[in-house]
Chains A and B, each alone.
Chain A
Amino acid sequence: MEVYIAVTVSNGEVYHLAVQTEFRAPTRPNGDGWSFDEKRGVWLNSISDTYIEYLIAKNERQWAHRRDGRGLPAYDAVQVVSWRRLTQAEHEQFNQDRPYRNALRDRDGRIEHDIAAARERHRDLLRHQRAQAMPELDARFMRALGQGKKAEQDAVETERQKWRDAPADPSIDAAQSIEELKLIKVV
């Protein structure tokens, strides 16, 4: 069994914790509220607020000290702003539309996508797809160039330009939902 927790952090993102109500361990686990079921050989916890805050504090010590090991400025180091328990339906939201996962926010008691963040995420996805498509297009262009096939060169170049323009597609800014964003494709 798991208890699901949403943790909002200082950059606005929401983290999802799956807290175990029982598990096997050699000794009493850290934190409050543990009892041992001798028959089943498992440690049990009713997951009190105190225990949740203990677990979050454990994680926050790591989240707050993220850094670049090569001496560059710290990146995505965050502090905990708030937390709450998730319903099963809210938990399931974290399993859906995973490419847009980082755009999820916990606002006014609802788990929802921040559309501005989702648009940026969609642009990243298009850039990612472009990076996959371009090597093959470049190869086709060079072959057409070598063979003197101007029409084919133009066709490939048109396709390459579509990819270059894709992240700037105004329909991305016009999209108001994840579903609308998913419809914006190059091919």
Chain B
Amino acid sequence: MLILRATADLLRVVTASAADIEVHVSAMEADNATPPVIQDIVRVNTASITTATTTTILDCTTANRRRNVKHANLYNNHASQACQVDVEHTDGTTVEVLASVNLLAGESLVFTQGGVWIHYDSNGGVYPSVGNAASQAEMEAGTATDKYVTPQGVNWHPGVLKCWGKAAGAGTTLHANWNIASIADTGTGRLGWTIGTDFSSTHWAATSAIQRVSTSLAVASVDLGGGMFRNASQTAAVIESENFDETATTNVAQDPEFYHLQGAGDQ
């Protein structure tokens, strides 16, 4: 139920952009007798709102009349332009926003007879509530039991990898990745990884692996780079993998078939 009961009362729509908002309102009108007598059954179609403006969609200008809004419908008929829409009630002095919604093209906002505002997408589906999505802080804490996880929020959980990648053994091509901005071939058997969105400190957990070039177990064919990083190579943004064989006296740097990296920590 939504009431207009004085001549100054208005139901208005504030549009924030030049879209094409079509508005319909259905209402019942009664006088102030005891008991009230139904005077009219009102329906108002407002001309399409195509600018950023404030538009009255229902008034109550006849003295001693009350209007009870049964249904209101706002539809964005524009092909592409989204529009922030505020529905507000004024008694001539005080203005209250009743609903505030960003209507994408083809979407609608409906006020039902039961007093419920419903936001429909362009396919007629009802928007789900997003009020209980976990925040970044809640995801990082990882303890809430009354929040749900959004696709973006998944990344913030401490148990989730913040970056990963697979690069060619020569270090010259990155084949697949998440959050890796570039790789650096700084020499045979060495590969630098540069992260897109950095970690918050140098202390993040990195895991390295390599795919061997050969299936032979001869010492010269064994790659020892699995799990190896070059000393002092880790910063919040960069780390360097190494690979070498197992020959005597001094191991020799050599390229693996592929390098792999996984990084977990706080961003």
Contact = CB atoms under 8 A, between A and B. Distances in A.
A59 B152 contact: no
Nearest to B182: A19
A50 B255 CA distance: 31
Contact of A95 (B170, B234, B237): B170
B185 interface: yes
Contact of A128 (B171, B231, B247): B247
Interface in A21-50: 23-31, 43
B173 interface: yes
Interface residues of B, number: 45
A2 B173 CA distance: 8
A22 to B, nearest CB: 10
A180 B170 CA distance: 23
Contacts of B234: 62
Contact of B173 (A18, A31, A62): A18
B237 A28 contact: no
A68 interface: yes
A132 B185 contact: no
Given A18-B172, A94-B172, A124-B252, A23 B185 contact: no
B180 interface: yes
Nearest to B172: A94
A106 to B, nearest CB: 13
A135 B248 contact: yes
A65 interface: yes
A52 to B, nearest CB: 9
A91 B178 contact: no
Contacts of B170: 94-95, 98, 101
A58 B219 contact: no
B36 interface: no
Contact of A31 (B178, B181, B188): B181
10 contacts: A2-B174, A7-B184, A15-B187, A20-B180, A27-B155, A29-B196, A59-B192, A62-B235, A98-B255, A101-B187
Given A2-B173, A135-B248, 11 more contacts: A16-B172, A18-B174, A18-B183, A25-B178, A27-B152, A29-B197, A59-B184, A62-B232, A62-B233, A102-B187, A132-B247
Interface of B: 152, 155-156, 167-168, 170-174, 177-188, 192, 194, 196-198, 218-220, 230-235, 237-238, 240, 247-249, 252, 255, 267
Interface of A: 2, 4, 7, 13, 15-20, 23-31, 43, 55, 58-59, 61-63, 65-69, 91, 94-95, 98-99, 101-102, 124, 128, 131-132, 135
